[in-house]
Amino acid sequence: MAGSQTEKYPGSHVGRVGYYIQMLVKLLDGIFAVLAVSALLAIAVVVIIQIVSRFLLPTSPIWTEELSRYLFIYLIVMSSGLIVRKNLHVRLELFQSALSPFWGKVYDIFCHLMVGGFALYILPYSIKYAQIGRWQTSPALEVPMYWSFLSVCFFFALTAFYSFVCIVLLFLERDDQGVLR
């Protein structure tokens, strides 16, 4: 296994490749963190515009409610990869703490495989679902619903991608779980 080789030959090719993979993943983590936090800040701005215009302007814009809803959905899906990476999904933990490091790893890999496999399997169906949106436009902003339906594809794609990344990092013994911790 790659993991055991890293231990035997620190500084070997595998060690170096592992390091680069880890750095790449960190970069991606950062990008998605920025995207998700930007969505939150954008929601705040849009909602503030909505409040201010209601109290100060004669008419309030009709697009704010819709835009904040789409931003909200993108906030959720852009975070979905990081949630997998940082193990933040809620789960029932009955026996995990009693597992040895080896079996803990086996358990982690099993869960990631289940989750990643599921997400990958549903991905084509969500792409098909997004296509339906090509024929619909949103009522206020008049953008094709495709863009907002596409969010679900991001969710499954990121979940699948990060599940497999986590498996790779587990094998490389580089699963440090997170950018900011």
Partner 1 sequence: MEIFLLFGTFFLLLFIGVPIVFCLGIASLTYLSMAGISFTIVPQRLYAGMDSFVLLCIPGFILAGNLMNSGKITDYIIRFSNALLGHIRGGLGLANVGGSMIFGGISGTAVADTASIGAVMIPGMARSGYDKSFAAAVTAASSTIGPIIPPSVPMIIAGSLSGISVGKMFLAGVVPGFLLGLGMMVTAYVISVKRQYPREKRATLKEIFIVGRGAIWALLMTFIILYGIIGGLFTPTEASIVASLYAFAVGMFVYKGITWSNLPKLLLDTVLSSASLLLLVGMANLFGWILTSEKIPQMLAEAIFAVSENPFIVILVVNIVLLIVGGFMETIAALIILFPTLLKVAEGIGMDPVQFGVMAVLNLIIGLTTPPVGVCLFVASGISGLSMTAIVRAIWPFLICNILVLLLVSYIPAISLWLPSLLG
Residues in contact with partner 1 by the rule CB under 8 A: 33, 36-37, 39-41, 43-44, 47-48, 50-51, 65, 68-69, 72-73, 75-80, 82-83, 86, 88-96, 107, 110-111, 114-115, 118, 121-122, 125-126, 128-130, 132, 148-149, 151-153, 155-156, 180
Q: C-alpha distances in angstroms, 79 versus 19, 24, 99, 154, 161?
A: 24, 17, 29, 10, 13
To partner 1, the closest distance from the beta carbon of 104 in angstroms equals 11
Q: How far apart are CA 67 and CA 69, in angstroms?
A: 5
Cβ 78 to partner 1, closest distance in Å? 8
The smaller minimum CB distance to partner 1, of residues 15 and 154, is found at: 154
Q: How far is the CA of 89 from the CAs of 46, 82, 85, 140, 172, in angstroms?
A: 28, 10, 10, 34, 23
Q: How far is the CB of 6 from partner 1 (least distance, A)?
A: 27
Place of tokens 């599921």: 118
Residue closer to partner 1, measured from CB, 43 or 169: 43
CB of 7 to partner 1, least distance (A): 27
- Give whichever of 20 and 110 is closer to partner 1, judged by the CB atom: 110
